[in-house]
Amino acid sequence: MAKRSEKAKRLTLSEKIRLMYGEKAWTIHGVPRIGIPPVRVSDGPSGLRYMPNDVMEVGSDATTKDSIAYPCSALAACSFDLDLMEEYGRMLGLECKSAGVDVVLGPGINIKRNPLCGRNFEYYSEDPYLSGMLAASFTKGTQSVGVGACLKHFACNSQESYRMVNNSIVDERTLHEIYLRAFQIAIDECSPWAIMASYNKINGTYACESKSLLLDTLKNGWHYSGVVLSDWGAVNDPILCHENGLDVEMPCFVNRQGLLFLAADRRVIVGKEGKTGKEPKTVHRLSKKRINDITDRVLRLSERTHAPHKLPAFDLNDGKAHQLAVKIAESSMILTKNNGILPLESVKGLAVLGELAANPRLGGGGSSQVKGFAPKSFLQRCIEAVGEGNVHYSRGYDLATREFDSDDENAAELIVDAVDVATRCPNVILFLGTSPEQESEGFDRLSLRLPDNQVELYRRVVERNPNAIVVIATGGPVEVAFAETSAAEILSYFPGEGGGEALYNIITGATNPSGHLAETWPKRNYETPSFGFYPGDQAQSLYREGIYVGYRYYVSAEEEKAVRFPFGYGLSYTQFAFENLRVSSKKPANLEETPLKVKVSIKNNTKVGGAALVQVYVRPLEGNVFKAKRTLQAFKKVYVDGNRRVEVELELSRRAFEHYDTESGSFLVEGGKYAIEIGQTCMDKDIVLSGEVEIPGDKEFPSLRTELTVYYKPPKDGFWLYDDVYEKLLGYKVPFPDDPRARPYTLNSTIENIRNTWIGRILVRRAQEVTGIEDEKNPLYRSMLQTPIRNVVMNGISDKVAQAIVDCANGRLILALWHLMFRKG
C-alpha cells in the first residue's frame, strides 16, 4: 500500500482543497481516485445518532436508525470508573462500525462553569482532571475498534446563550489550567483522532480562527496529530480559519472550492497603511504548508478509521449493548439520602408517582438525543417484576407545565389522584425532573428550580406518606432543599434506555449504589461562583471567577461554603472505612521519572459487597501562587466484598502539583509542602486521611497577594463586585462592547439584532416556518433569535443571500443587489 506521503503527492490542489470542507452534513471528503475513502462522522456522546441521508436535522426523531441510548455524560461521569468508560467507548465504537460511522462526535468535555448551562448534561464534570481522564478512557474504547473520537467543544463553550457569537473573556492561567486542561490530558493519554473547535470567541477571536488556540497550543504545543473540525456552522472566515489551524469546516452547504482555491493561489496583498490613512486590508493567503498539513491530517484520519480490524459482530438484538447501558446507569446513579428505607425488599405494593416514572427522558435535547433501542421505564420494570396489579402508578403532574395553579382543575386532579395513591401504599417512589422546554442544547436554564407543580406534588405526598423515595431526573443540579424531608433520594440524571432497570436494581438492592457526584449541587443558584455575571450578554461573558470553578470555589471560599451535595459525594448500602494511608516518599526528588505512589486500605464493614471510590486530593500547604485549597488528582473505583479489606494503589505524577505559569507559558510546580488527602468528598469534613510531602519546585514564584486579593481569598459572596481585580488578572481592560442592536450589522449580527428591520421581520417569519416554533416563550425561539445571520447557510441559503440580508438590514439595497448579482457563493 502506498504511504500517506506518497498518496498526498498524487493529489491535485483541487483535491487537497476538497478535503478542507465537509461533503454534505456528516461526511468529510475522500479521494476515491487514489483509494482514500471519505470519513463518515456522527453524533454523539450518549449514543449513535445516525442520519441516514447525510442531512442536517436535530432531535431524536431525525434519526431513523435504532441505537442504544446510553446515560448522558453528566451521569456516566459519576461512575468515576475508567474501565467502564472504556468498555462504553468500545461498545459504542462497535455500533458505529456496524452503521458505517468512522468518527463519533464526542465526548463533550467542556468544564461545567455554571449549573445553568443548558448543555451541561452533555459534559462530564467541573473538574478538568476527571473530565480529561474519563474522556481518555472513552476514546481508548472507541479507537480500539477503529472508530475515532472527537473531543468537543474546544474551548470555553461554557454556555448556550449566544453560543455562536459570544466572546469568552478568560485570563490565560484559567484558560490553560481549567478550560484547556481536560483536552490536554485526554490528548496526552490517548490522542483522540479528532477535535471540534467551538462556536464562541475566546478573548476576542473565534475559536475556529484562533492561531494561539489551534496552532500554538494544540498543534505545536501539545503536538496534536489529529484533525480539527469546526462545530457545525462555526466558521466565520474560512480562509482565516484554515490558515490559523482549522482543518475541516463542517458541514459545508456552500461550495468552498472556488474561494479556497483562489486564496491558495494568491499572494498576500498587503495594505497601504499610511498612504490612504485607512487600516491595511489583509487578504489572508492559505499557505502551502497549511494545505499540506491539512491533507496529511485528513488522510491520516481516513487511514486510521479504515484500517482493517478483526471485530466481534455487533448485534443490537443480543442485548449486550443494552445491558451495558444498564450497567453504566446503575454504576453512576447517586444515592444522596437513605434513612434506611432502601433497599426495598420488593416493589410489591409500591406507589410509583410522576410522569417521568412512566415516560422517562433518556437524554438531553439537541444533537446528542437518540431514541434508544429497548428503553424500559421504571414503571414497566416494576410491572414486569410483580405484575400490573401490584404497582400503583399515578402521573402526578404534566411535565410540560412549570407553574402550579390551584385553580387549574387538571393540575389539581393530577395531584389529588397521586396523593390518594400515596396514601394507600406503604412506600412511595416519586419521580421529579425537567422537560425538554426547560433543559436542552441551544439555551441556558433560567433557574435551578424544579417546576412548581412538581414541588407542590412532593409536599402533598410527603405530608401523607413519609416513606417517600425521590428520584431527581434532570441533566444537572436543581435546588432540592425541599426534598430534605424525603426518606431517600437518588439522582438519576438522564439515565439512557437502561435507566428504569438500573433504578429498579438499586431500589431493590440487586445493585449496591456507587455513583459519586462529578459536579457540585449548590444550594441555590445565587451561591455559585459565577452568579451575577453568567452567562453575560450577547457580546461577552466575563470569567471573573478565574480558576475557582465548581468545588474549587466552595472549598476555597472563606470558611468553606456549604453546598447541597459536594463534588465526590455519593452513598452506598455499605460502610467503607479508609485506613492506613502510605505515600512512597516524603520528599520525592523527580516526579517526572518516579511518580508518587499513594496506598490506602479500604475495609468493607458490612456483609454486602460494593464499589468504593478512592478520591485523592492534593492540598498546597504553603506558597506564593494562589491555588484552590484542594484539587482531585487521582481516583480509583474498586469493588470490595462484604467484610473484606483491599489495598489500593494510585499514582500522583508531576501533573498533580502543577499550575499554569503565565510568565513562561507552561505548567510549572511551586516547591513546598503539600498534603495528600483521601476524601469521601472534596469538603474539609469529609477528608478522612491525610499525609504530608515536600515537593521540589521549578523556580521561585512572586506573591501577587496585594494585587490579586480576591483570588487569594475567594469571597463568600462570589466575584461579581471585583472588576478591577479581575482586570488585573486578565492583564487588560475588559473591552466596551458595541451595541449589537445598532447598525452597521454584519454577518455575525444575530437575527434578534435585526428583527426590527423589514428584512429581519421576514427572516423571523421564515425561521418560524422552518422550525415550527412560534411561541416566544419557548426557549428554542430564544435560541433561534440568537443565531447569527452567517448561519442561515445551514438552511440551504447561499453565502451571497446571507450577505444581501445584512446589506438590506443596513439599508443598503443597491449593495445587496450587487452582492446578489456578482458575488460568488
Catalytic residues, by residue number, are: 231
Q: Which residues contact 565 (CB under 8 A, 6 or more apart)?
A: 334, 336, 491, 517, 520, 521
What's the min distance (Å) between Cβ of 80 and ligand BGC?
24
**Which residue's entry shows cell 430534605?**
484
Among 124, 179, 224, 232, binds ligand BGC (CB under 6 A): 232
| Grid cell of 782 as nine digits | 430564544
What's the min distance (Å) between Cβ of 232 and ligand BGC?
4
Return the closest-CA partner of residue 383 out of 374, 392, 375, 372.
Answer: 392
Q: Smaller CB distance to ligand BGC: residue 565 or 781?
A: 781
What's the min distance (Å) between Cβ of 233 and ligand BGC?
7
What's the min distance (Å) between Cβ of 231 and ligand BGC?
5
Q: Detail the DSSP E strand segments found in 108-226.
A: 148-154, 167-169, 194-197, 201-202, 205-206
Per-residue mark of binding to ligand BGC, 746-785 (x: CB under 6 A): ----------------------------------------
Q: Is 40 a binder of ligand BGC (CB under 6 A)? A: no
Binding-residue total with ligand BGC (CB under 6 A):
6
User: Which 588-647 positions form the footprint of ligand BGC (CB under 6 A)?
Assistant: none
Contact 222, 171 (CB under 8 A): no
Q: Smaller CB distance to ligand BGC: residue 152 or 561?
A: 152
Q: Smaller CB distance to ligand BGC: residue 662 or 771?
A: 771
Strand partners, 351: 392, 428
Long-range contacts of 256-259 (CB under 8 A, 24+ apart): 256/17, 256/20, 256/21, 257/14, 257/17, 257/18, 258/824, 258/825, 259/824, 259/825
Q: Which residues contact 523 (CB under 8 A, 6 or more apart)?
A: 479, 481, 562, 563, 564
Chain position whose Cβ is nearest to ligand BGC? 367
Q: Is 21 a binder of ligand BGC (CB under 6 A)? A: no
Helix (H, G, I), strand (E, B) or coil at 470: strand
What's the min distance (Å) between Cβ of 28 and ligand BGC?
13
Taking the C-alpha atoms of residue 819 and residue 801, their distance in angstroms, rounded to an integer, is 8
Taking the C-alpha atoms of residue 427 and residue 382, their distance in angstroms, rounded to an integer, is 14
Q: Is 367 a binder of ligand BGC (CB under 6 A)? A: yes
Q: Smaller CB distance to ligand BGC: residue 232 or 635?
A: 232
Per-residue mark of binding to ligand BGC, 440-479 (x: CB under 6 A): ----------------------------------------
What's the min distance (Å) between Cβ of 155 and ligand BGC?
13
Q: Is 540 a binder of ligand BGC (CB under 6 A)? A: no
Among 23, 43, 177, 519, binds ligand BGC (CB under 6 A): 43
| Grid cell of 757 as nine digits | 428591520
Q: Smaller CB distance to ligand BGC: residue 105 or 616?
A: 105
What's the min distance (Å) between Cβ of 246 and ligand BGC?
15
Q: Smaller CB distance to ligand BGC: residue 67 or 377?
A: 67
SS3 of 711-728: HHCCCCCCCCCCHHHHHH
Per-residue mark of binding to ligand BGC, 127-166 (x: CB under 6 A): -------------------------x--------------
What's the min distance (Å) between Cβ of 704 and ligand BGC?
37
Strand partners, 669: 658
Q: Smaller CB distance to ligand BGC: residue 251 or 515?
A: 251
Taking the C-alpha atoms of residue 737 and residue 756, their distance in angstroms, rounded to an integer, is 21
Alpha-helical (H) ranges within 445-566 are 452-464, 499-508, 551-556
Among 74, 85, 104, 105, binds ligand BGC (CB under 6 A): 105
| Grid cell of 413 as nine digits | 386532579
The sheet carrying 645-652 orders its strands as 576-583, 596-604, 645-652
**83 torsion bin: left (phi>0), alpha (psi -120 to 50), beta (else):** alpha
Q: Smaller CB distance to ligand BGC: residue 72 or 729?
A: 72
Q: Is 231 a binder of ligand BGC (CB under 6 A)? A: yes
Binding footprint of ligand BGC on the chain (CB under 6 A): 43, 105, 152, 231-232, 367
